[in-house]
Amino acid sequence: MTRRSGSGPRPTKGRPAGSTTDQRLLDSSGHGDWVHTDPWRVMKIQAEFVEGFNDLSEIGPAISVFGSARTPQDHPTYAQAEAIGRGLAEAGFVVITGGGPGTMEAANKGALEAGGESIGLGIELPFEARLNDYVSFGLNFRYFFVRKMMFVKYSQGYVVMPGGLGTMDELFEAMTLSQTKKITQFPIVLMGVKHWEGLLDWMRETMLADGRIKQSDLDMITLTDDVDEAVELMLKARD
């Protein structure tokens, strides 16, 4: 695959400063939008799906790595994400991230420097406007839900590093899809015991204790600080 330039949001005359395509879609309401505007949005959404399916259809086995865009380069999590990217690439996986800075950059860097394929799936935001320098092939999406589909469809598993709301969103979407059997054989690794153990304790002591989830829902997650263990788990699932 060839490098696609990581461009940010494309400003258009007459649009509010800092607005995004997603925002304009979700802020609009009423039948008037459907009659006059939304049919054209449907065409744009369809085009994004087609482009994503076309450009990602021939990649090899891939693992998505998620984590905070705010992780500084001198943070231990950055080094760990870089090691994850390198380990996955050396094991023969394509590494997919959101293409941004921080943890995403680190995983892309590790994969690229190990000679692997390093993919970034960017999103139009009022910030994080470009793909990081370690993406060997990148796509920029306007719609979050299209981008999220690509992560799930073209990944065989997720490695989830410490992160914020976006990272939590990706984690719980994957868990929900696995729970409801929309996806099968989908390993999910949480890297960073100290970061994640409080969340898992709450899920166990509250959600599980109250009967709102089953033990099998928790069993789909592996919590570790060991990069080799994470890579090995992905290899076992691939085999």
In a domain, 16, yes or no: no
Q: pLDDT per position in the chain (239 positions), as tens?
A: 333 444 333 333 344 555 676 566 666 655 555 555 667 788 889 999 999 999 999 999 999 999 999 999 999 999 999 999 999 999 999 999 999 999 999 999 999 999 999 999 999 877 656 899 999 999 999 999 999 999 999 999 999 999 999 999 999 999 999 999 999 889 999 999 999 999 999 999 999 999 999 999 999 999 999 999 999 999 999 87
pLDDT score recorded for residue 6: 40
Q: Model's pTM, two decimal places?
A: 0.85
Q: What is the CATH number of the domain that holds 40?
A: 3.40.50.450
DSSP per-residue letters across 223-239: EES-HHHHHHHHHHHH-
Confirm whether 9 is domain-assigned: no
Structural domain that includes position 177: 22-238
Domain membership flag for residue 183: yes
17 domain residue, yes or no: no
Instruction: Return the axis-axis angle of helices 38-56 and 144-153, rounded to nearest 10°.
Output: 30
47, part of any domain: yes
Which 8-state DSSP code applies to residue 213? S
118-123 and 188-191 as β-strands: parallel, antiparallel, unpaired?
A: unpaired
Cα-based distances in Å from 14 to 10, 17, 19, 25, 141: 12, 9, 11, 16, 21
Number of domains in the chain: 1
